[in-house]
Structure formats: C-alpha cells, structure tokens
C-alpha cells in the first residue's frame, strides 16, 4: 500500500458546500412538493455572451481545417489574449502590467492553490476570517499548517478578522507575516478595499518584504469609481503582489474555464541562505512543466470579451447580477435585517436575526421559506451569525425568494 499525504487528514470535517447539498437533499426528499430556490451558490446562471459564442464557433471551425488547425499552444497563453488583457484590464487603468507577466490558466481556484508550489515552507501565512476556503485548505494540503483546533482553525496560520466593526476589511497584522491572501471584492462578505486601504497593505508588504496574493475574481462588479480594480493601480504593488483574475464571474466562464495570474517581473523571493530569486522565473518554470495551456477555442472566447460587442454584452451580464444584488439588499433591509455588501459584489452578507447561529438560520430559511443561503460559519469563525446570499440567479427566482424570506423571517 502507498503512503498517503497525511496533511489531507487534517482538513476539518466536511467541506461547506457538500454539507449544504446534503441538507437540501434531505429536505427535498421529505418535501417533494416544495420549490426550493438556491440563493447559496457561487456559480453564474446566465448564458455566455453572444460575442464569446461566435468567437468560439469560429475557432472550432479553424480547428477543423489543416491550414488553421492548432496543436499545443504556448503554456502561458496565446499572445492575442495576453495582449488584450494587458491593454484592457491594466493599461486602460494606468497599471503597468506587460503581456509577458500574464499567465493564462484554466481557473483561479487552481492558480491560488498552485502558487504554493513556488513558495517555501517557512513562511508565516495570513488569511482573513471569513475566508474563501480554498486559500486555507490548499495550505493544509501542502503541509504548511498544524492540525485544526476546536474552532476549525489551523496551527501556524494567522487569522485576520473581518467584522462589522472594521467594515469587513481586516486590520494590518501586528507581527511579521510573509504571505497574505486578500480578496476584493470579497467572497463571502461583498466588501471591497478602498484605495487608501490597499495603499496601507502595499506599504505593509513592502516594509515587511511580504507577498500579497490578491484575488480580484469579482473586480468587474465594482461600481464605485474610486475603488481600484487591480492591486497594480497602487504604486509599488508590482514589487509585492501576485494578482489572480478569472473570466468565471466576469464573463460567465465557470463552465468554460479561463483565468489568468499576473506575476510581475519585479517580484522577488529569497532562499534560506538569503539569496534573492525572481518569482516570475519560478512561476514560468512551474507553468511550463505542469501545465499545457488553455484550449485555443476557449482563449478565443475569452479574447472576445474585450471586443466592443463583448464588453457591452458582458457588462449587461454583470448588471443583471448587480440588479439582483440590489433587490436582495433592499428586500432584506426592509425586512429588518442588517445587510452588508451587494453594491460592488454579487454577494450580500447578512446578519442573522435575533443572534441566531448561521446554520440554525440556514435550516430555518430552508424549512420555512424553501430558500437556500450559505451559512457564514462555513467561511470561518468570524462568519458565525451571518449568512451569504448570492445574486447569481434569474430575476424571477430572486424576487420570489425575497418575498418568501420576508414572510417567513
């Protein structure tokens, strides 16, 4: 028998979403007539933009002709896509990211996990609480933490609490941390980091030689003009930050799969003996050895999001979800709940009524309103007393779900 990676055994019992699915299945089995509305999922519901479909159809046809057929592409992505990203997502916002600092991939979830490949084992790693569970679990799997305690928190990780008091943007760490995960707009709280807040984090990272892993998967949902979409809009960030971006939530590519990671050439790490090493070189090596590129067809689809028609159509998709978020925010506020987020993000972070535990409120809404939300406690101990409502749904479902929740509070 082979030895296993025992770090997997440290993972605290049950991933959040399977547990939600189990409870919903159980409820549906006992109440087959109930029409359950899922307001818990972090997956898009609306079809792809026509510009993307058209570009992918054309690419499929190219693959069917000898003269235009393509085999392996560059591991880092085709230049046409990397250049479109550099121009539209960075140059247009005054952030100097060059095309060869962009690594196209099949998802930000994998990139967030894979980045640990090029980092050493001695780093002090900070995560926010509540947190996107992938950041924590991948550190556990890589053996970078101790076991979980009674609250499900792992030894060796620094938890930065995001609470109503600090507007769900954590304070700077009080001690040295080497790697920091930040997500803005945030999943699950829907909070965004302002320019002064980001400047403070970049200043901390530069002073302490820390690396910020900045997840901007929801940047397209930012409506407030003053909020940066990229950490590279902050001076000096290219020396201390890696940014993850994805077409999943911005263009509905959750099932199509395309994302990218920016690793600036100015980024440095060090060896145990104190030698300085270029992180861009290491990530290039990892990417070319362990990855063979995203499908040509999909990259053409992603490129189409930057055409005039593509921009307009994806903007309409985002506006649909943001209008849902506004309905959720408004309905739950009128119903007397305290609601955060939902203006620059597709998530509303809602305080449970009467101090209910998040799983109890989840069960109450499922049992009485037949509406599924996500219990905040599943994102970390600071998420206790909150639930997350997702705006990824049809308009009709959102309206119906909000009506039922208001009646059954």
Beta bridge partners of 206: none
Write down the least CB distance from residue 239 to ligand PLP, Å: 23
Q: What is the x/- site pattern for ligand PLP, positions 39-68, by CB under 6 A?
A: ---x--------------------------
Nearer to ligand PLP, 42 or 190 (CB): 42
3-state secondary structure of 269: strand
Nearer to ligand PLP, 140 or 369 (CB): 140
User: Taking Cα atoms as reference points, which of 260, 175, 170 lies closest to residue 215?
Assistant: 260
- Report the alpha-carbon distance of residue 238 to residue 397 in Å, rounded: 42
Residue 189 binds ligand PLP (CB under 6 A): no
Write down the least CB distance from residue 215 to ligand PLP, Å: 5
Write down the least CB distance from residue 244 to ligand PLP, Å: 6
Query: How many alpha carbons lie under 13 Å from residue 262 in its C-beta half-sphere?
Result: 31
Number of chain positions touching ligand PLP (CB under 6 A):
14
Nearer to ligand PLP, 254 or 333 (CB): 254
Write down the least CB distance from residue 217 to ligand PLP, Å: 4
CA distances from 53 to 80, 253, 256 (A): 17, 11, 11
**Interface region with ligand PLP, contact rule CB under 6 A, candidates 66-74, 101-109, 320-328, 331-339:** 101-109
3-state secondary structure of 11: coil
Contact 223, 322 (CB under 8 A): yes
Q: Can you tell me which of 230, 248, 250, 374 binds ligand PLP, judged by CB under 6 A? A: 248
Alpha-carbon Rg for the chain in angstroms: 21
* Ranges within 355-394 binding ligand PLP (CB under 6 A): none
Residue 254 binds ligand PLP (CB under 6 A): yes
Q: Give 361-365 contacts, CB < 8 A, sequence gap 24+.
A: 361/387, 362/20, 362/23, 362/387, 363/23, 364/408, 365/405, 365/408
Nearer to ligand PLP, 215 or 243 (CB): 215
Nearer to ligand PLP, 240 or 259 (CB): 259
Task: Give Cα 370 to chain centroid, integer Å.
Answer: 27
- Report the alpha-carbon distance of residue 46 to residue 249 in Å, rounded: 11
**Interface region with ligand PLP, contact rule CB under 6 A, candidates 85-93, 246-254, 265-273, 398-406:** 246-254
Q: Can you tell me which of 108, 324, 331, 374 binds ligand PLP, judged by CB under 6 A? A: 108
Q: Can you tell me which of 44, 78, 97, 109 binds ligand PLP, judged by CB under 6 A? A: 109
Beta bridge partners of 387: 350, 375
Q: Which residues bind ligand PLP (CB under 6 A)?
A: 42, 107-109, 132, 183, 187, 215, 217, 246, 248-249, 254, 259
């Amino acid at each position: 028998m082979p030895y296993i990676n025992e770090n997997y055994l440290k993972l605290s019992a049950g991933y959040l979403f399977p547990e939600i699915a189990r409870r919903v299945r159980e409820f549906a089995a006992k109440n087959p007539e109930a029409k359950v509305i899922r307001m818990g999922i972090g997956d898009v519901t609306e079809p792809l933009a026509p510009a993307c479909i058209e570009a992918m159809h054309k690419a499929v046809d190219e693959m069917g002709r000898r003269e235009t057929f393509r085999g392996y592409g560059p591991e880092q992505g085709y230049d046409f896509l990397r250049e479109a990203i550099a121009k539209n997502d960075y140059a247009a916002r005054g952030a100097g990211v060059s095309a060869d600092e962009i690594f196209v991939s099949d998802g930000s979830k994998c990139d967030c996990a894979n980045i640990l490949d090029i980092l050493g084992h001695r780093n002090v790693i900070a995560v926010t609480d509540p947190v996107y569970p992938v950041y924590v679990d991948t550190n556990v799997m890589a053996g970078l933490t101790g076991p979980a305690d009674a609250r499900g928190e792992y030894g060796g990780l620094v938890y930065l609490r995001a609470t109503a008091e600090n507007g769900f943007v954590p304070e700077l760490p009080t001690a040295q941390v080497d790697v920091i995960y930040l997500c803005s707009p945030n999943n699950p709280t829907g909070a965004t980091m302002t320019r002064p807040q980001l400047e403070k984090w970049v200043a901390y990272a530069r002073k302490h030689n820390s690396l910020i892993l900045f997840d901007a998967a929801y940047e397209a949902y930012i409506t407030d003009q003053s909020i940066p979409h990229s950490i590279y809009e902050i001076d000096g960030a290219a020396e201390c930050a890696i940014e993850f971006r994805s077409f999943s939530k911005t263009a509905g590519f959750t099932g199509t799969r395309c994302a990218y990671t920016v690793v600036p050439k100015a980024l440095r790490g060090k060896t145990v003996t104190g030698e300085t090493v270029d992180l861009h070189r290491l990530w290039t090596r990892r990417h070319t050895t362990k990855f063979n590129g995203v499908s040509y067809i999909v990259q053409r689809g992603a490129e189409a999001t930057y055409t005039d028609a593509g921009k307009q159509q994806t903007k309409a998709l985002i506006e649909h979800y943001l209008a849902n978020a506004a309905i959720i925010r408004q309905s739950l506020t009128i119903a007397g709940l305290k609601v955060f987020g939902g203006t620059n993000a597709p998530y509303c972070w809602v305080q449970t009524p009467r101090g209910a535990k998040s799983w109890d409120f989840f069960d109450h809404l499922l049992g009485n309103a037949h509406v599924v939300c996500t219990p905040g406690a599943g994102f970390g101990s600071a998420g206790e007393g909150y639930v997350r409502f997702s705006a990824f749904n049809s308009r009709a479902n959102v309206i119906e779900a909000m009506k039922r929740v208001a009646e059954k509070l």
